[in-house]
Structure formats: C-alpha cells, structure tokens
Chains A and B, each alone.
Chain A
C-alpha cells in the first residue's frame, strides 16, 4: 500500500525489526514520555480538562452528524472568498486534480507543509514522476523525505532518527560534511529551504480545521513553514480531509485549547493561521490563486456506522500514540500505514476498506484503554479495536486454531465433571515436561509464551478439591459474625431475592 515505507510482512515481523533497534525504542520512549508528561502538565495547568474534552467531543459529534450541511456551507463560503474548491472521492481523483493544476501552472517546484492527507495520497511520488521537484518543508518531514521514509509519528515524524543519522542525510544533501549539531543542522535546512520557498511555483498544505461559516482554513504549526507555504508561492493547494470542519471561529477556541495541549503540551503552537481566500487584490503577498481539495478516500464509509463514526472526530494530535504501551515499544513504522499508534490501528483498516489486509494491526494493542483516556475528543479507540477484531472473525479471517480452541474450551467448561476429569488427566499428562513446578518446552501453543517466560505447571490439587478443607478451616478459625452484620446481610439477601435478581448464584 505504501511503497515509501516497509509494509512487508505482518505487524509482528515489522515490530521485531523495531524491537531490535535500541535507538529507535529508546527515542520513541523518551519522546512519547516527554510529550505525555507535557500534555498532562498542560491539561492540569489549564484545569477543568474533562469539561473541555466533553465540549470538544460535543462539537465534533455535532459537526459530523450534520456534515453535509456544514461541509456544503464551507464550500459555498470558500467559493465566495475566491477559493477554487474540488472534490476527490479517492486517491486517484485527488492526484488527478493536483496534477491538473500543476500542469496548467507549468510548475517546476512545489513546497509542502506537513499534511497527513498528502502522505495518505502519496502525492509527492505523483509530482516527482511528472518531473516536479517536491519539497517537504517541516524540518522532520524534510529529514524523512531525504531518507525516503514515511512519518513514524503524527506530530514528530522523524522521531526514529538520531542526530548522527540526520547529519549524514543532510551532509549528503548539502554536498559537504555537516557536524551532528542540532543548531547547525537546523540552520542548514533554514538556508536551503528559504530559497525553495521563495522560488516555488506552488505551496501545498494540509488543513487542521476548516471554518464552515466563513469558508476559512486554519493551520497549527511551530516552525513557520506553513506560513511560508501560504504566503510566498503564487498558487496554493490545500488538501483537506472532508471531516476537518468545525462550524465557527468560536468553536476554534475549543480546538485551539485541546489540540496543542494534547499534541505537545503547549498552550498554543507558535503559529496558528486563519486563511480566508487568496490574497486581496491590493495585498503585497499571499497566493494569487487558492485551491482546496476536499478528500474522502474512505472517510465517508465511517458515516452512519455506529461503531466507527466517531473516528471522524479525530483532530490528529497524536496523544493516543504517546500513551500507548505498544506504540512506545514498536514505533510508528511497524503499523505499516500512514497513521500509526492506536488511531492508526483503527483508521488504516477503516480508510482502506479492507479489514482482511490490515487485520493484524488491530491486534497490536493491549486494549488497556489509555488511548481513550488521552484522547481530547474521547474517541473510544479500544472499543473500536475490539469491533475490528470481531469483524475480522465474522468475515472468516479468524484464526482456525483459535476458534477450535475456543470451541473446545466451551465444551469443557459446560460440565463440571468433564472439567474435573480433564484437569486430572492434564496433571498426569504434564509429568514428563514439568521441572521445578514450571513447563519450559517451546512446542505447539506454548512456543510463543515459553520463548520469554516459563509456563506454570498445573497444581497438584485444584481449588475445588481443596474446598472442603478450606471451608472447615474458615468455620473453625473465623470469629462469629456479630448479630447486626448478620441481620444486615440477610436483609440484603432478602431484598435481592425479592427484586428478582438471580445472577451470580452457584447453586
């Protein structure tokens, strides 16, 4: 799906590669920890975080539930502002529109600011095939572009590279040896990209939010490159996911409160720009022509799906990546798609409409729910991962041995005599492989577990076999219950019987 990065093999194989890379694992851990604690500090400092989250969720839910109205309103207003709006149901259509514009403009170079949608569309490849120089201008994106890789984190795309690797890449680019010093490396990129900004024919951006009522688009960034891209080239092309809409500027205050704090722990990114149409006739800078391409590419499939519609509420902050115990160990490239971490595990199969092909990344989660707790708009990602796994089984992509095992387990557990017999037989059968109360053989179903751990042996006597003895012991040693407590408990029991609740009884 994505030739720019390794999507070969399973998520497990890709993760194995990542787990062997100590720098990667430590860098991801360090960065995500820093971002996570930054977010927690920012949320605490701001206060009433739960109220803000709830409000963010409400605004996103409301907008998505009325998306036809708000998107259409945005389109009409943007047109009135002089923007040329286009619709792209899929990657091919989006690419086609970009290429049509580039050809008409006889563009030789395009400078881009960070856009996850453009990663999704692999637009750089299409432009370069047409001989158009395409430059990522976000520092991290520029680095991974030189390396020929995709982003491994939504917010910090080059999280997996160290300064020596970066110095090597930039030295090659510069044609001279650059020392592994952050300031010097960043200084080189500043000089190099300055020329590119000033000389580019087209500036291409993503879109964090689009304001329906005024037809404006909003960009959040720290470096100033998105401002360059929307100020200097004569033509601006913005790629926008169809769900990026919010109704008003008033609603933007909520998003501006949630997004930077959740992404990096900042009160606000260094730059937030609201762009309403191309430059006015008398203005001295800004694009003369502005195009907004509204991209579906699988998004509308989530609409009306009660299990996945809330995916469209996502504001792309990356907070779920930073708290995910799995992401922090395997890094972004192991997920194999444009989006990584918990959001990627759900979004990739959803956008690709192909659960079977991406099914294994739904398993790259411990379902601990940390992603939901971190999400500024409260998307229940861990529930969605369970839904995905269920769909995968329902569509016949389950593991045959796993279903067989489950069926066997059901048969066994349905009858206590059968269970007791099976346990007795198990205790006899395990004898040859038990050493020191543990089983170490790496065979069959025990292979995965026993590679890193020791499986405990079955106990000599089961809990049920112990029960008689245990209950005797309790009766003998426990002090008599005082009358008041007994009365209260008996009353509870009577109430429960009267109310007809019968669950949880063993007899």
Chain B
C-alpha cells in the first residue's frame, strides 16, 4: 500500500519512473524504424484537410439553413430568433411548459442579462460556480434545464462547440435533462476545421481543459439497433440561433 505516502511525493516518484521508461520506449520506436531518434519536427506536407476543402464557404443564410437541417436530422431542435430578449422569452416559456423546477446556467454576463430569475420566479435557478461551497455537479445533475452559450459552431456537421472555464461548467451542457444552447449567428462557421484550426493557433497554454463539440441529443443504437435518445446526456437539445 502506498497510501501512507503523500500524493505529491507519490506523483513525483511516478514521474521519475515515467521519464526512465520514456527513454526506452522512444528508443525502441526509433530502433524499429531503423534510424536514430528524431528530435526535430519533420516536414508535414499533408497537414489538415485536402486543399480544395479549405476554400469551401457557405453564405450566412446557407450556414443557417444547413446547420438547421443537419441538427434537426439527428433529433435536435433549432429555433431562429432575432434578439437575446427573444431567447430569454423562449427559455422562460419552455421552462414553464415543461414544468421545470431547477435550471442551471453558465455564469456569463450574456446569460445573466436574460434575467431568467425574474421571468421564472418559481424555478430554482443557479449560476454555475457562483458559490465555492456549493456541490456544483449535484446542482447540474438535478437540473431539468441547462443553459449555455456556444463558443462556435459548424454548419457542415451541425455542431456547436462549448468550452470549459471557471464560469463555464462542463456539466451544464451534460447533466440536465434538457440542454439549451444559445448560438449567436456570427459564431456559426461553415466547416469544422474553422473551429479546430484556431486551437493550433492559440497554442497549448491557452486551451481550455474541456472542449466539447455537440451535434445533437445523446443517443444510442446498442439495443437491436433501435435508436434511443437521452441515454446518458440530455435527450432534448435546443439551439437558439440568435442575431
């Protein structure tokens, strides 16, 4: 039993072992490839998608249409709205219709500005990670509705992207029964690559811990190929396309 050892000491010891094995592991690879260890970056002539793809662009209207079609085809819902005020109204109406009792939202100024607390006095609304003593995953797990803002979206695959941060929990788009994603139209791109390539550009140290690309409701076909919605994640997902 190593339990008596403190965690930092234990991790330190693991790291030392790891660095020793690393050397042997990498040497084995280069020996088998019959050349010395490669320490400089090799030329990578085939990086990314084929050339014809990177010029491919849809107009804004096409992006909206395609995103809507693709997201709906897999069982998601898309609602086209003009303003954040309309988004607030939509969320409030739906929360009431569905009889929601708990709602969790990311702690972001755009979402605070929706003033859901005033619109839904009977619903217990919590703002992610606003109190350090709260059990936040439990709050998200009990929530009927989770509300998030997308950081980006790709029309070609019908995908929204959300990222984690202190004010943005991964659980908010994952644990509630219903997930509502607000997507400002100017964050909707054509290709998935337009969301991925910036990850290379901003560099390792600036990446969030979690980046999640969501293309519809949680689903499974594991029982006799019969499609089931909402297996572990939200079974109902709305994208509110705003702007």
A residues engaging B (CB < 8 A)? Answer: 27, 30-31, 34, 48, 51-52, 55, 58-59, 62, 65-69, 71-73, 75, 77, 80-81, 84-87, 89, 100, 103-104, 106, 137-140, 143, 156-158, 162-163, 166, 182-183, 185-186, 189-190, 193-194, 197-198, 213-216, 222-225, 227-228, 230-232, 242, 247-254, 256-257, 264, 266-280, 282-286, 294, 296, 300-301, 303-304
Whether, in the assembled complex, B203 has its beta carbon less than 8 Å from a beta carbon of chain A, the answer is: yes
A55/B50 in contact, CB under 8 A = yes
Contacts known (A139-B231, A183-B228, A224-B232); A55 close to B49, Cβ less than 8 A: yes
**Contact partners of A58 in chain B: CB under 8 A:** 45-46
Contacts known (A86-B21, A186-B220); A284 close to B169, Cβ less than 8 A: yes
* Complex Cα spacing A231 to B11, Å: 21
B37, B49, B70: the one contacting A253 at CB < 8 Å is B49
Q: How far is the CB of A281 from chain B (nearest CB, A)?
A: 8
**Contact partners of A86 in chain B: CB under 8 A:** 14, 17-18, 21
Q: Mark B131-154, 1 if CB is under 8 A from A, else 0.
A: 000001110110000000000000
**Contact partners of B39 in chain A: CB under 8 A:** 69
**Contact partners of B193 in chain A: CB under 8 A:** 250, 253
B25, B52, B200: the one contacting A250 at CB < 8 Å is B200
A227/B1 in contact, CB under 8 A = no
**Contact partners of B140 in chain A: CB under 8 A:** 285
Report 9 cross-chain contacts, Cβ distance below 8 Å, ordered by A residue: A163-B226, A214-B200, A249-B200, A271-B212, A274-B199, A276-B210, A278-B209, A279-B209, A280-B164
B223/A228 in contact, CB under 8 A = no
Binds A, one of B26-34, B81-89, B94-102, B117-125: B26-34
Whether, in the assembled complex, B239 has its beta carbon less than 8 Å from a beta carbon of chain A, the answer is: no
**Contact partners of B214 in chain A: CB under 8 A:** 270-271
Q: How far is the CB of A248 from chain B (nearest CB, A)?
A: 5
**Contact partners of A232 in chain B: CB under 8 A:** 137, 171
Q: Which chain B residues numbered 139 to 181 have a C-beta less than 8 Å away from chain A?
A: 140-141, 156-159, 164-166, 169-171, 174
Contacts known (A162-B224, A214-B204); A103 close to B1, Cβ less than 8 A: yes
Q: How far is the CB of B21 from chain A (nearest CB, A)?
A: 4
Q: How far is the CB of A270 from chain B (nearest CB, A)?
A: 5
B residues engaging A (CB < 8 A)? Answer: 1-3, 5, 7, 10-11, 14-15, 17-18, 21-22, 24-26, 28-30, 32-34, 37-42, 44-50, 52, 70, 74, 128-129, 136-138, 140-141, 156-159, 164-166, 169-171, 174, 191-193, 196-197, 199-200, 203-205, 207-226, 228, 230-234
**Contact partners of B48 in chain A: CB under 8 A:** 248, 250-251, 253-254
* Complex Cα spacing A442 to B231, Å: 53
A270/B50 in contact, CB under 8 A = no
B192, B210, B234: the one contacting A268 at CB < 8 Å is B192
The 5 nearest A-B residue pairs measured at CB: A224-B233, A140-B222, A282-B166, A250-B48, A284-B129
- The number of A-B residue pairs with CB atoms under 8 Å apart is 304
**Contact partners of B25 in chain A: CB under 8 A:** 71, 87, 89, 242, 294, 296
Most buried by A among B3, B28, B169: B28
Contacts known (A87-B22, A232-B137); A283 close to B37, Cβ less than 8 A: no
Most buried by A among B29, B137, B197, B218: B29
* Complex Cα spacing A80 to B15, Å: 12
* Complex Cα spacing A256 to B164, Å: 21
A84/B11 in contact, CB under 8 A = yes
A139/B52 in contact, CB under 8 A = no
Residue of B whose beta carbon sits closest to that of A88: B21
B209/A283 in contact, CB under 8 A = yes
**Contact partners of B232 in chain A: CB under 8 A:** 137, 190, 193-194, 197, 223-225, 227-228
**Contact partners of A224 in chain B: CB under 8 A:** 174, 218, 231-234
**Contact partners of A59 in chain B: CB under 8 A:** 46-47
5 further A-B pairs in the complex, CB-CB below 8 A; given A140-B222, A216-B199, A223-B218: A84-B18, A193-B232, A227-B174, A250-B193, A272-B215
Q: How far is the CB of B196 from chain A (nearest CB, A)?
A: 4
* Complex Cα spacing A140 to B220, Å: 9
**Contact partners of B37 in chain A: CB under 8 A:** 68
**Contact partners of B231 in chain A: CB under 8 A:** 139, 186, 189-190, 222-225
B210/A186 in contact, CB under 8 A = no
A257/B49 in contact, CB under 8 A = yes
A182, A283, A286: the one contacting B224 at CB < 8 Å is A182
Q: How far is the CB of B139 from chain A (nearest CB, A)?
A: 9
**Contact partners of A294 in chain B: CB under 8 A:** 25
Most buried by A among B165, B210, B219: B210
* Complex Cα spacing A276 to B207, Å: 7
A257, A266, A280: the one contacting B74 at CB < 8 Å is A266
* Complex Cα spacing A486 to B95, Å: 86
Contacts known (A267-B70, A271-B214); A139 close to B170, Cβ less than 8 A: no
Contacts known (A190-B232, A280-B165, A282-B166); A48 close to B210, Cβ less than 8 A: no
A27/B200 in contact, CB under 8 A = no
B38/A66 in contact, CB under 8 A = yes
B215/A269 in contact, CB under 8 A = yes
A284/B233 in contact, CB under 8 A = no
**Contact partners of B2 in chain A: CB under 8 A:** 100, 103-104
* Complex Cα spacing A66 to B182, Å: 42
Residue of A whose beta carbon sits closest to that of B11: A84
Q: How far is the CB of A50 from chain B (nearest CB, A)?
A: 10
Contacts known (A84-B11, A103-B2, A198-B141); A304 close to B32, Cβ less than 8 A: yes
**Contact partners of A31 in chain B: CB under 8 A:** 225
A276/B208 in contact, CB under 8 A = yes
Q: How far is the CB of B119 from chain A (nearest CB, A)?
A: 24
Q: How far is the CB of B49 from chain A (nearest CB, A)?
A: 5
**Contact partners of B41 in chain A: CB under 8 A:** 69, 73
* Complex Cα spacing A48 to B222, Å: 30
Q: How far is the CB of A378 from chain B (nearest CB, A)?
A: 13
Residue of B whose beta carbon sits closest to that of A186: B228
Q: How far is the CB of A208 from chain B (nearest CB, A)?
A: 13
A304/B33 in contact, CB under 8 A = yes
* Complex Cα spacing A277 to B44, Å: 26
* Complex Cα spacing A158 to B221, Å: 10
Q: How far is the CB of A343 from chain B (nearest CB, A)?
A: 20
B233/A227 in contact, CB under 8 A = yes
Most buried by B among A75, A250, A304: A250
